[in-house]
Amino acid sequence: MGFNPWTFLLEVINFLILVWILGRFLYRPVAAVIEERRRAIASSLNEAAAQVARSEALERQYAERLSAWEQEKRLAREQWLADLNVEKTRLMDAFRQGLEAERQQADILAQRRLSAQQSDLEQQSLELGGRFAARLLERVAGPELEARLLDLFIDDLSQVPEERWEAVTAQGGDGGGRARLMSAFPLGEQQRADLQQALSAQLGHPVACDFITDPGLIAGLRFELGPLLLHANLHDELEFFRLAE
């Protein structure tokens, strides 16, 4: 239990040496490794934080770009819809105009077709009317009717324009030519005399006439003298009526 100064002194030296040993070979290397690892961890954490910050920035950038894309897409879609509506309106207008033109053309064609049909019907009606009138008049025609027409012919001679008579005179019809007078029924002597008298009075000189019977005239007369042609018979009247249109 005694105190030994040599042991005390050696223990002091030993412990100081031990402090140096542990400081040199244990504490410093291990602390350096710990510190290096701590720095590496801190560096990794900083790098991770930087990467997180970069990723967040990229995420924000992506979100902003996505939003811009959405906005651009919406604007493009609106523009496209507007253009589509404009094009649709233009095409519809063009279609309506074309349709209207087609309709007008169809109306014109229909009107033309209707007019043609109406004209055909009128023509057919006239032909039917003419044939009906011809048959009717053929049945009622006779010397009496012809006498009546002869009277009308004589009465109407005064209504023939003067220039027509002058044209007959200018072409040598003044006594040199012969008149042709066709009738559906043979004329009596009195009728022929009345007729020659009326013609002579109208021309101012006697006229020689050839009296020809033509049953195709149905009833009445046809007078030819040079360029002058006068009708007073049912056939020519009906033909004139038929061809009037």
Partner 1 sequence: MDDLQPGARTLFTLGPVAIADSIVYTWLIMAAFWIGSWAVSRGLRQMPGPVQVVFEGIVGACENAVRELLPRDYLRVTPFVLSLWLYLGVANLLSLIPGFETPTRDLSVTSALAVLVYFSVHWFGIRSQGWRAYLKHYLSPNPILLPFHLLSEITRTVALAVRLFGNMMSMDMIALLLLLIAGLFVPVPILMLHIVEGLVQAYIFGTLALIYIASGIQSQLSEPEQENGSS
Interface residue list for partner 1 (CB under 8 A): 1-12, 14-19, 21-23, 25-27, 29-31, 33-34, 36-37, 40
Token pair listed for 9: 């002194």
- Residue (1 or 243) nearer to partner 1, CB: 1
Instruction: Let me know: does 183 contact 213? Beta carbons within 8 Å.
Output: yes
Rounded to a whole number, what is the distance in angstroms from the first to the last CA of the chain?
A: 169
CA dist., res. 172 & res. 228, Å (int): 12
- Residue (39 or 113) nearer to partner 1, CB: 39
- Residue (12 or 114) nearer to partner 1, CB: 12
Instruction: Pick left, alpha or beta for residue 161 (phi over 0 → left; psi -120 to 50 → alpha; otherwise beta).
Output: beta
- Residue (7 or 55) nearer to partner 1, CB: 7
Instruction: Let me know: does 228 contact 164? Beta carbons within 8 Å.
Output: yes
Q: Which of 228, 227, 226, 134 is nearest to 184 (CA)?
A: 134
- Residue (33 or 66) nearer to partner 1, CB: 33
Q: Which of 232, 227, 139, 226 is nearest to 183 (CA)?
A: 232
Q: From residue 152, how far is each of 144, 158, 209 by CA, in Å? A: 12, 11, 19
In the complex, least distance from residue 51 CB atom to partner 1, rounded to whole angstroms? 21
